[in-house]
Amino acid sequence: MIRVLQVLGTISLGGAESRVMDLYRKIDKDKIQFDFLVTEGTGNHYKSEIENMGGRVYYLPAFRIVNYLTYRKACVDFFASHSSFDESGKRISEYSAVHGHMTSTASIYLPIAAGYGVPLTIAHARSAGVDPGLKGMATNVLRHSLYKKCDMMIACSDEAGDAVFGPKSDYVFMPNAIDVKEYVYNETSRSNIRNQYGISDDEILIGHVGSFRYAKNHDLIIDIFKKISETDNGDKYRLMLVGDGTLRSEIEAKVSNLGLSDKVIFTGNQSPVAPYYSAFDILLFPSHYEGMPGTVVEAQASGLPCIISDAITKQVIITDLVRVMSLKDSVDNWVEAIKTMLSKYSDRNVDEELESTMYNVNMQVDYYSELYTNRGIL
């Protein structure tokens, strides 16, 4: 059996984390076992499940720019402690591969991993942008030469690959994949969720799944919902926001100030999230930037119509259930798009062809098994 180290920001609920866990659950753990290296103090939602499957969780200090040397030393100490020397004196790592999903600091930890005997280092771009401000600037600087500091580059979309590694870089496109069957529309789940939150059958539920941070653009979601609630039959609309994050209190305050508290539901993080897609009537997803939003893939697997922003990669459009709107469009145009899509897709028809694409995690298991086992020689 070989061990692969997955480097993530957290093992709490999140897009990249969920995608890696989907793969971990499916991969043959008699042949390949995962360990996780994450930032301390960021949540441990998946920790018990990881350990129950035979994985181990390790921690690095949070990277704060000013603690560069401390962070680097922690990386050195970790990889040194997971390596040894063979009879010839060659450094040998416990890990057959290090898969770095946290590209903001991958240019630090991946070369260190290689120096301590890891035969395959992978940088995996999962985001096509950075938040504004000093943190975003620092991330761009750290990523600048990442393409030179890893053995292999993977990107969840062309936009993510170009943003992280540079245009025309030699990265492999690998979409964020889900367990498609888990998200198939379920009438019982729809009834249970809607009853739980007091949503009647004749109410129209607009949904969003995502963390409360700048990229997800909750401000625009609220503006759009405010406008649609003022239209004809506006009292029939409800909004459900699934997720948590640093900006949640700010959005809750905005909802209250606009007098929408009785119409907007904050559920917090939910696991499993699949039943919520069955409860929704439409997904609203106007992100400022994304890599490959698994939420939109999950929604399509559930037969749910989606309105997304033009800042999101077109590679996420797998079915005709998705309509793209410009972030420069007026709120009125977004409202009209929602009503049009609701009218067009009143029935939940699931596209079973999704199961035979690389957006299905079962189709990716063989690829990653070969990649990890053969040290990147495919």
Structural contact between residues 321 and 353, judged by C-beta atoms closer than 8 angstroms: no
Q: Is residue 108 part of a domain?
A: yes
Specify the pLDDT at position 377. 54
Specify the pLDDT at position 356. 85
The predicted-structure confidence for 133-182, as pLDDT tens digits, reads as follows 776 777 777 788 899 999 999 999 999 999 999 988 999 999 999 999 99
Q: Is residue 249 part of a domain?
A: yes
Specify the pLDDT at position 107. 96
Measured distance CA(229)–CA(338) in Å, rounded? 12
Neighbour-count burial for 69-97, b at 16+ CB within 10 Å, e otherwise: eebeebbeebbeebbeeeeeeeeebbbbb
Q: Is residue 378 part of a domain?
A: no
Handedness of CA 40, 46, 51, 53 (dihedral sign): negative
Which CATH number do you get for residue 158?
3.40.50.2000
Specify the pLDDT at position 131. 74
Q: pTM of this prediction?
A: 0.84
Specify the pLDDT at position 347. 85
Q: Is residue 61 part of a domain?
A: yes
What is the overall mean pLDDT for the chain?
94
Total number of domains constituting the chain: 2
Measured distance CA(308)–CA(329) in Å, rounded? 12
Q: In the numeric block, which tokens belong to residue 269?
A: 């993080």
Distance, first Cα to last Cα, the chain:
19
Structural contact between residues 239 and 265, judged by C-beta atoms closer than 8 angstroms: yes
**14 and 56: one domain?**
yes
Specify the pLDDT at position 378. 52
The predicted-structure confidence for 179-222, as pLDDT tens digits, reads as follows 999 999 999 999 999 999 999 999 999 999 999 999 999 999 99
Specify the pLDDT at position 96. 96
**Given its phi and psi angles, is residue 186 left (phi above 0), alpha (psi -120 to 50 degrees) or beta?**
beta
**19 and 47: one domain?**
yes
Given a cut of 50, the residues of the chain with pLDDT beneath it are none
**232 and 169: one domain?**
no
Specify the pLDDT at position 289. 93
- DSSP letter assigned to residue 171: P
Task: Residue 344: give the domain boundaries.
Answer: 180-356
**113 and 18: one domain?**
yes
